[in-house]
Each structure stands twice: as C-alpha cells, then as structure tokens.
Amino acid sequence: MLEVNGLCYKNILHNISFTVPDGSFTMIAGRNGSGKSCLLRCIKGLYPHSGHVTCSGSCALVFQDADTQIIGQTVERDLSFGLKCSKEEVTVKVHAIAEEFGLDKLLERRPSTLSGGEKRRLAIADVAITGPDVLMLDEPFANLDYPGIKSVIELLQNLKRKGTTVIMVSHEVEKVLALSDQIIILDQGAIKMQGDADEVFSKADWSDAGIRVTGKREDMLWL
C-alpha cells in the first residue's frame, strides 16, 4: 500500500492525502500546471516536502520528459543500468524487454538519435525492466502513435494482471479509464476530487479539469 498524508510542497502542493491499495490502478488528472508532475516527484522522494509518504515496496517513476530518464551511451546499456544481476541474466532481460517494447533493432543506437516515440518507449522500458512494486508514469502517451499507445496500454494491462500497483498521470482519461480503480483530480495543487473511478468519472466536471471526455466509461479502453 502507498499512503500519502498531508503532503505539501513549496506553494505548489497543498495538503495532499490519499491511499493506493496494492495492485490497484490510480489515474491522476488535472489541468496543465495543477501539480501532477511535482506530486509524483515528491512521492518518489526527489523533491523535499512536508507530510508523509509511506510505501511498502519499491517505487519507480517514468518521467514526463523522456530525456531525464535516459542516461546510457546506447539503448542496450541504458536498459541494463538499473539491473542488479549476473551479466547473462542482464542480457536475457534486456533482449526480452527490447522485444516487448519494439526496441530490439535499436539496441546499439545512441539514445539521443532515437525519435520521440522511440525515446518514450525506452524510458518506460528502463523502469519496467526493474519490476517495481509501484510504477508511476507521467504522461506515458506523449509522442506515441496508435501502435505505441496500444503497446503501452497492453503493458499497463499486463502489469495490473501481475499485481503491480500503477499510478498514472494523463490528460487522456479515456485511454485508460476502463483500467482505473481510483481517480484523483488535482486543481491548483490541491485535490479537487478523489475516489472510486466510476463515481469520479460520472460526477467530475471534466472540462473544468482541462479534459475533453466523450463516450461511455466501458468503451474507454483504446485497443
């Protein structure tokens, strides 16, 4: 379980409290500048904040800006970076994840030469390969085309099936609504609404949250 209690950060986040049960999927939405990325960075422990964050396992964050994540000289080295196992195991894991993310033909490339969508896939793969208990993703659909979006949604479905706890920030509510158990809407650094996904989805003023929603909840999985 991840628990956030009375979290405040500068004059950006105000008294944020919520819990995320193990194995659940939480979506965080809100306008540009509402504090979503700062919240994930505080949870990850990258920004000094007041209040408490407790997490019973390992917690990983895929940044909104893929370049922040990518540090290796080559795609292959970048993927191996966070792994603590034998060379042979590293090779097996790197090749498996590269195939899953469509990066297998790019392993020798310098990450700076990748396209925006390829970088995004690498940034997510970098974190997914370490198998965290809680995976936080900040706008994972940015820069992706339809097959790319589909592969990220499939990955999220697989993670959920495996019991990984997922926290995702997105403006594209409809792409993952069907996977969501909980929705949190931020507004000017404070929680405006939070709770069961069905309930929040039907009650929220989405246009006020900067989001255009069309269609019914059960249709909202982009596959």
Binding site for ligand ATP (CB under 6 A): 12, 30, 32-38, 64
- Whether the CB-CB separation of 106 and 75 falls below 8 Å is answered with yes
- 3-state SS of the chain? CEEEEEEEECCCEEEEEEEECCCCEEEEEECCCCCHHHHHHHHHCCCCCEEEEEECCCEEEECCCHHHHCCCCCHHHHHHCCCCCCHHHHHHHHHHHHHHCCCHHHCCCCHHHCCHHHHHHHHHHHHHCCCCCEEEEECCCCCCCHHHHHHHHHHHHHHHHHCCEEEEECCCHHHHHHHCCEEEEEECCEEEEEEEHHHHHHHCCCCCCCCCCCCCHHHCCCC
The residue among 70 and 209 lying less far from ligand ATP, judged by its C-beta, is: 209
Ramachandran angles phi, psi of 207, nearest 5°: -65, -30
* Closest separation in Å from C-beta 168 to ligand ATP: 12
In the set 24, 37, 80, 170, which binds Mg ion (CB under 5 A)? 37
Residue 11 binds which entry of ligand ATP, Mg ion, none, CB below 5-8 Å type-dependent: none
Q: Which stretch binds Mg ion (CB under 5 A): 56-64, 102-110, 121-129, 202-210?
A: 56-64
Q: Which stretch binds Mg ion (CB under 5 A): 61-69, 107-115, 116-124, 174-182?
A: 61-69
Residue 32 binds which entry of Mg ion, ligand ATP, none, CB below 5-8 Å type-dependent: ligand ATP
* Closest separation in Å from C-beta 101 to ligand ATP: 23
* Closest separation in Å from C-beta 129 to ligand ATP: 25
Rounded Cα distance between 140 and 155, Å, is 11
- Whether the CB-CB separation of 160 and 183 falls below 8 Å is answered with no
The residue among 32 and 202 lying less far from ligand ATP, judged by its C-beta, is: 32
Q: Which stretch binds Mg ion (CB under 5 A): 28-36, 86-94, 176-184, 203-211?
A: 28-36
The residue among 36 and 49 lying less far from Mg ion, judged by its C-beta, is: 36
The residue among 30 and 106 lying less far from Mg ion, judged by its C-beta, is: 30
The residue among 205 and 219 lying less far from ligand ATP, judged by its C-beta, is: 205
* Closest separation in Å from C-beta 26 to ligand ATP: 15
Question: Does 180 help bind Mg ion (rule: CB under 5 A)?
Answer: no
Q: Which residues pair with 3 in a beta bridge?
A: 19, 54
Which residues in this chain contact Mg ion in the complex, by CB under 5 A? 36-37, 64
